[in-house]
Amino acid sequence: MNLLFIADPVEHFKIHKDTSFAMMREAQRRGHRLAVSEPRHMHWQRGGKVLARLRDITLTGHATHWFSAGEPREAALADFDAVLMRKDPPFDSEYFYATHLLEQAEREGARVFNKPRALRDHPEKLAILEFPQFIGPTLVTREAQDIRRFHAEHGDVILKPLDGMGGMGIFRVGPDGMNLGSIIETLNRDGSQSVMVQKFLPEIAAGDKRVLIIGGKPVPYCLARIPQGTEVRGNLAAGGLGVARALSERDRDIGEALGPLLHQRGLLLAGVDVIGDCITEINVTSPTCFQEIFDQTGCDVAALFVDALEAAVAQAIR
């Protein structure tokens, strides 16, 4: 297959842990050809197809100069067997516009994973609202008084913006309410931005678990991201310690309940974040943790993903 990865600049990849790199490595091992582009390099003009300025690449196997690239060229997204949208959040206006270009490319015959409409329909913080049976007490609001009322009811809460990633902008406010006002001002901006507030789950001490769902099925192992020191966030980007574990019965129940539905909607890969027994987010833009799980358990998550990708492309061609 000819595969096009639309992602952040490959020069910035940290290949010892990057999931997109793991996908590329497994795909090349199977003989698939690789090309890379960025959302800003896509364009469309009436009378033509969605094009991308891209580079064909080959992985070298070296730790530093890890890829070689051909000269930049333009090609239609529909000319590839599969287009993988792997741009990291934030899900801002430009990301939103990129999904519309990708959807136009689909109308022209491109096969895009994850499906652009599914990316738009599943904002990573708000997607959990569809599954109240799996989440803890949660509030989404633009009203400061609602946040104060929720805090008064639950005492110990987490506040976060709806467009953050890697633990950015997450605050914990305990029963004393210290700094609640300034945190509301920072996140809410006088009612101009919505905020998610959730009851603090003490099970975070055992880790914020990333449960990966590939092709509608949960991967047998998750990565528990454990906060370190006085930090409340388990995110690896915030210094959390990643420990791979077999799925608990509850983790598996969540994965098996959500997996078929997400897959049906065009999400070949999703990362469900679970603290204790509760879902906190559903990541669909560029879920990670492939390499950490493989390194610690031997479960080849990248191989499972490429298996699912090959099957999805074969089914689409039929």
| Domain boundaries defined on the chain | 2-114, 137-200, 203-317
Amino acid at residue number 102? L
Tell me which of 230 and 67 has the higher pLDDT: 67
Residue 148 known to be catalytic: no
The fraction of the chain above a pLDDT of 70, given in percent, is 100
Residue 96: both structure tokens together:
């939103």
pLDDT of 233 above 80: no
Please pick, among 25, 86, 209, 225, the residue that the annotation labels catalytic. 225
Task: Of 223, 227, 237, 122, give the one whose Cα is nearest residue 168.
Answer: 237
The reported pLDDT for the residue numbered 290 is: 98
* pLDDT (mean) for 195-210: 96
Residue 254: both structure tokens together:
């969540």
Under 8 Å between Cβ of 107 and 117: no
pLDDT of 238 above 80: no
pLDDT of 58 above 90: yes
* pLDDT (mean) for 304-315: 97
Phi, psi (rounded to 5 degrees) for 187: -85, -40
Please pick, among 86, 115, 199, 210, the residue that the annotation labels catalytic. 210
* pLDDT (mean) for 175-189: 94
Residue 86 known to be catalytic: no
**How far is it, in rounded angstroms, from Cα 114 to Cα 215?**
11
Classify 226 as helix, strand or coil.
Answer: strand
* pLDDT (mean) for 17-46: 98
* pLDDT (mean) for 228-239: 78
Q: What CATH superfamily is the domain 137-200?
A: ATP-grasp fold, A domain (3.30.1490.20)
Phi, psi (rounded to 5 degrees) for 52: -135, 140
* pLDDT (mean) for 49-61: 98
**How far is it, in rounded angstroms, from Cα 234 to Cα 241?**
7
Amino acid at residue number 280? T
Please pick, among 106, 235, 283, 292, the residue that the annotation labels catalytic. 283
Residue 2 known to be catalytic: no
The fraction of the chain above a pLDDT of 90, given in percent, is 89
Which DSSP helix (H) or strand (E) runs through 318? none
Residue 88 known to be catalytic: no
**How far is it, in rounded angstroms, from Cα 75 to Cα 7?**
16
Q: How far is CA 164 from the centre of its chain?
A: 11
The count of other CB atoms within 10 Å of the CB of residue 186 is 15
CATH code reported for the domain at 203-317: 3.30.470.20
Per DSSP (E only), the strands in 38-192 are: 42-43, 51-59, 67-69, 73-76, 82-85, 112-113, 138-141, 157-161, 171-173
Please pick, among 86, 125, 199, 209, the residue that the annotation labels catalytic. 125
Which DSSP helix (H) or strand (E) runs through 217? strand 217-218
2-114 topology per CATH? Rossmann fold (3.40.50)
Task: Of 101, 128, 4, 148, give the one whose Cα is nearest residue 138.
Answer: 128
Residue 300 known to be catalytic: no
